[in-house]
Amino acid sequence: MKILHALQKLWEHIITLAYILQPALFSIIVLILGFVILVVIPQGSDAVLELSAPSPFFLKQICFGLAALFWAVQIWYWAKILYILREHKFRKRKWYLCAMKMVPRSLAIMAFLVVDYALFNMAPFAKKYANNYTLYWMGAIFVLLTVLVYLFLHHRVRIFHLHKLTEILKIVWRKRRDHRREYSLFCDLPPTTRKILLILTAAAAIPFILFITGPQIFTFGGGAPVILVGFSLWVPTGSWILYLSHRLKLPIFSIFIILAFIFSLWNDNHHVRVVNQQPVQVELDKRLDAFLAKYPVATEENRSDKDKPLYIAASEGGGIRSAYWTAAVLGRLQDNIPQFHEQLFAISSVSGGSLGAAVFTALVKEKKVGMTFCFFNKGQKILKRDFLSPTIAMMLTGDLVQQFIPFPINCFSRGGVLEKSWEIAWKRAIDSNRFGDAMTNLWQNDENCSIPSLFLNGTLVENGQRIIASNIKIDSKIKTRQHPKKTEPVFIDAVDIFKYTKNKKDMFLSTAVMNSARFPYISPPGTLASGIHVVDGGYYDNSGAETAAEIFFALQKKLEESPRKVRIEVIMISNEPVPKDNGKNIEKTKPLRFAAGLLAPLEGAFNALMLSHPNYSKNTLKEVIEANGGKYHHLVPQQEDLPFPLGWSLSQEVKQQLACQAKTEVDKIWPPPEGKGKKQ
């Protein structure tokens, strides 16, 4: 009985604590989210690391400081106001009055401590890889600010001579105790407090409007300030809803969630954008004939001659990390081998790899129309832009509001914002509108097949099939080995995305990339004309190896019909860093302990999908290529203690590491011409 009584007491204390913290619930949620994003998630930590990069007049650092201050003030003051406004059965108890005073202050201090920890957590990496002490200085400044904030919160009455205001508050509380039902929301508060509330609300409304109307302008400050400001914007709204739920005795949060589910039947604003023209696609059989025509026919006379390489590339998914690595590898290859684009038949890509592949292919198109540049440097210039900030800005404002509106507002789509970010990055680096043009226009006037074909792999939600955007018809057929008069499909369990677009029209190059790179939650699923949805190609196969293998088999069949002096080489571009022990040691793997029965199926499925299945696909591709006389090259970055994050933004330190490793890995196999390697 004593144990049961003790458990009852413990439960009562837990319930009491929940009641005590309830007014500050939304502030606590925003604080926890800030910690998780800035410290736990690699993309957030990398956004903090980016603050160490040089910035004109310390603009990035100042923006982050102001954003952190704004975040802490919103967390503190709205929690404080809700404690003042809410009626509570514990109000007369001393420890509850103490909580009213201490909880908001503690939350403010904790907000600054989260920022301190995030800065000092990434400072060693900035020092090691860039010899930069900026994050240490910023951390020291925030430690000082933390102390000053503590002194301000605990001694502001004495410092600013606010004794009269304190007396007013005591009178107001006394009136509330005697005439609770006579006062409305603002009438219960002194004028100064009402003014502060209006200022904080306006301070949240202004960036809210700017995030919706001009998300692209917020790249100047980096991702970390946008994340903090984005969370801060919802503290006033969430706090008012929390108060009204208590005041009106209605579960307003639950009502909004139910409405969001109901409105989702009509408010989908993530439709796949199309251009006003039909796609120009060719049969794989015809494209192979035209491409192989560049290679000499194999005869007895030239049997001893060296075979010419024919390349097929596959690029693994992985957000901006994959895009940057893919563009760097292919760009370095092109700079080392000027005729590389003439020998590269196709690129099969997934997710962020599709962005890197599209950047490289579009650069080849620009070269063909007369531009000259270093592919390696130009690819880095395009992809150095911060794609995360505009996307997060729209995701935390317009796209979130869209969930509670019963009709779609297309400009609120975070997917559309990300597509526009790619178009802007291309336009600023190249001064053309290639990413904002129709995808299949890349292959206009390409009769000699000097521009590699793209196979951008996505996944259909409704049936799990691959859905591919390409200049090649995905329903292409080729003659069988056993029965030359019969044909069979090349791409098994795959469909052509252009058969499902509105009026079967072409799409923007940026949209085609997006349909392959719809990274979970950061990028939304795209809706096609019939209502079916396309998501990231990594759900099906994150390596792109399966499509590459099918292209290889079709090429093999072609060469059996018409032998050529060809040596097929497959380039597998992976971006998941290889550990220094060259593999995972199961003895060092951290076991799953918490809620294993519940979480094991989810974690097992995720790891199998993202790690084991792509590795199986890559190993199978390697075996197939080598068994059929081809060569297989696997280019992958080496693991460093500096994390290489997924997402849509990279710090300067990570970019430098990937660029250096790309040069090293490519130069091992395809060294640059004499005297050229040192210049680039």
pLDDT digits (tens, 9 = 90+) for 412-432: 999 999 999 999 999 999 989
Cα angle 121-123-129, degrees, rounded to a multiple of 5: 125
Token pair of 582 as six digits: 């060259």
Q: How many CB atoms lie within 10 A of CB 322?
A: 30
Instruction: Please list, residue by residue across 430-447, b when 16 or more beta carbons sit within 10 angstroms of its beta carbon and e when fewer do.
Output: beeebbbbbbbbbbeebe
Q: What is the pLDDT of residue 179?
A: 41
Q: Are 53 and 81 in contact (CB under 8 A)?
A: no
Both ends of the chain: CA-CA distance in Å?
Answer: 79
List of the chain residues with pLDDT < 70: 87-96, 155-188, 303-305, 480-484, 578-614, 616, 675-680
Q: Other CB atoms closer than 10 Å to residue 556's CB: what's the count? A: 15
Angstrom distance (rounded) from CA 655 to CA 666: 16
Q: What is the pLDDT of residue 351?
A: 94
Q: List the one residue out of 326, 320, 321, 317 whose CA is nearest residue 344.
A: 326
Closest to 114 in 3D by CA, of 31, 198, 188: 31
Beta bridge mates, 468? 457, 496
- Residue 461's pLDDT is 93
Cα gap 360→365, rounded to integer Å: 9
How far from 125 is each of 48, 540, 549, 637, CA to CA, in Å? 11, 35, 39, 18
pLDDT value, residue 184:
43
**What pLDDT score was predicted for residue 85?**
78
> Contact, 132 vs 52, CB < 8 A?
yes
Cα separation, 50 vs 56, whole angstroms: 14
Residue 239 pLDDT: 86
